[in-house]
Amino acid sequence: MGLLFCFLGALAFGFLACVSKVAEQRNCAASALVVSLFGWATLAMFAQTFSAGSGFRVPLKVVPLAVGFGICAAVAYFAFQTSIKIGKVTVGWLMMNLSSGVPAVVSIWIYRERLTPIKIVAFCLGLISILCLFWGQRIDQREARKLKEERE
Amino acid sequence: MWFLLMLIILLTNGMSAFGLKVIAGWGLPGTIKFPYLTIWYAAGLAIIGVPMLLKGVRLGRREILWGALMAALSIAGQVAMAVALDSQVPGNIVFPIAIGGSIFIVALAGVLFFGERMNRLNFIGVSLGFLAVILLGVSGK
């Protein structure tokens, strides 16, 4: 049963990226989409907070943390939504997920988490992957420019 | 422009979830998660919404509806992972399946429905990135 929910999670996140691409193809403004997404999610979390019955009590030190990381999330999604207009949705989505390597590095630095061999391999693969994707995009851009020049 | 956007995504998206780890480190009760996420989403709404309003970009019916669907899918994904974790499936299985699976679905949709063609370097990059994300999921959660 638990595994079924893992696959449902994969479907939901995969469809999220696909719906973002479809919305982009229908000429939705990237900023308006992100505002709508975050607006609905704010409402849902607000409702969840009160339905849990614990009320809206937050220690003061949590507020700047939530504001800072919330801003990071919105900027990231805005960048993703803008990027799929000029690049591939697959690459954008992969970057969104590869970014989980950044907090892993920060955790090793701040919380002195162990740098395991699996993590070292993952970081190396991630770096090579980013280099390949950047290089691949450069080739795509060069070919598109060449094609445009030939047409002109 | 594309390169800059990718760098922004790399530096900001992963860090956005780091706050929950900091809160866990402070030993605060689990009930703090929902008010924390309410402020988290509201701050994101403000940082994009205010410049959008100043620029005069309209929030149309289309964006409201597509945004609602995106929010529903995002929350559904989080809930599905939470249920899987509550069902005693270990995190090092839940995260690689959910995240790796989503990349696979997007790559498939990219080729089949959005007409995205990949050159050899793109293909190698996506394959290695897919492996890296799975390994990060196995090692980190």
| CB of A67 closer than 8 Å to CB of B37 | no
- pLDDT given for residue A98 in this prediction: 81
Judge: A75–B122 Cβ closer than 8 Å, yes or no: no
Cα dihedral sign, B128-A105-A88-A20: positive
The pLDDT value given to residue A76: 92
Q: Which residue of A has its CA nearest to B77?
A: A9
pLDDT digits (tens, 9 = 90+) for A94-136: 888 888 777 777 878 887 777 888 888 888 888 888 888 888 8
> Is residue B100 domain-resident?
no
Judge whether B40 lies within some domain: yes
Tell whether B88 is covered by a domain.
no
B83: Cβ–Cβ under 8 A, 6 or more apart, which residues?
A2, A5
Angle between helices A89-98 and A2-25 (to 10 degrees): 130
Q: How distant is the Cα of A112 from the closest Cα of chain B, in angstroms?
A: 13
Give mean pLDDT, residues B85-92.
Answer: 74
Convert B91-116 to b/e letters by CB count within 10 Å (16 or more is b): eebbbbbbbbbbbebbbebbeeebeb
Is B89 contained in some domain? Answer: no
Percent of chain B at pLDDT > 90 equals 16
Residue B113 lies in a domain: no
Q: Which domain holds residue B37?
A: 1-57
SS3 label, residue A141:
helix
pLDDT digits (tens, 9 = 90+) for B5-28: 888 998 888 887 777 778 877 877
Please tell me if residue A18 touches chain B, with a CB cutoff of 8 Å.
Answer: yes
Q: Which of A46, A78, A129 sits opposite B129 (nearest CB)?
A: A129
Average pLDDT over every residue of B118-125: 86
Measured between CA atoms, how close is A145 to chain B, in angstroms? 15
Greater confidence (A149 vs B86) lies with A149
State pLDDT tens for residues B95-118: 778 788 888 888 888 888 888 888
pLDDT band at B141 (very low <50, low <70, confident <90, very high): low
Measured distance CA(B135)–CA(A100) in Å, rounded: 11
* Chain mean pLDDT for chain B: 84
Q: What is the pLDDT of residue A111?
A: 77
With respect to residue B18, please indicate whether it lies within any of the assigned structural domains: yes
Q: How far apart are CA A91 and CA A19, in angstroms?
A: 15
C-alpha distance from A144 to closest chain B C-alpha (Å):
13
The angle that helices A62-86 and A89-98 make with each other, rounded to 10 degrees, is: 160
Cβ neighbours of B64 in A, within 8 Å? 36
Which of A:80-139 have CB within 8 Å of B? 80, 82-83, 86-104, 106-107, 111, 116, 118-119, 121-123, 125-126, 128-137, 139
pLDDT digits (tens, 9 = 90+) for A71-82: 999 999 999 999
Nearest CB to B43; choose among A33, A66, A100: A66
- A40 pLDDT band (50/70/90 cuts)? very high
Report whether pLDDT(B140) > 70: no
Q: Which of A84, A81, A65, A104 has the alpha carbon at shortest distance from A32? A: A81
Q: Does residue B46 fall inside a structural domain?
A: yes
Contact assignment for B80 to A36 by CB distance below 8 Å:
no
Long-range own/partner contacts, residues A20-27 (CB < 8 A, 24 or more apart): A20/A80, A20/A81, A20/A84, A20/A89, A20/B70, A21/A84, A21/A89, A21/B109, A21/B110, A21/B114, A22/B66, A23/B62, A23/B63, A23/B66, A23/B70, A24/A81, A24/A84, A24/A85, A25/B114, A26/B62, A26/B66
Kindly report the pTM of this predicted structure. Answer: 0.85
Residue B79's CB: how many other CB atoms inside 10 A?
14
User: Would you say A32 and B68 are in contact if contact means Cβ atoms under 8 Å apart?
Assistant: no
Query: B30 in a domain, yes or no?
Result: yes
pLDDT at B117: 84
- A94 closest CB neighbour out of B8, B85, B103: B103
Total number of domains constituting chain B: 1
% of residues, chain B, pLDDT over 70: 97
Say what the pLDDT of residue A64 is: 93
- CB A6 to CB B98 under 8 A? yes
Query: What is the average per-residue pLDDT within A4-21?
Result: 88
Does any CB of chain B come closer than 8 Å to the CB of residue A47?
no
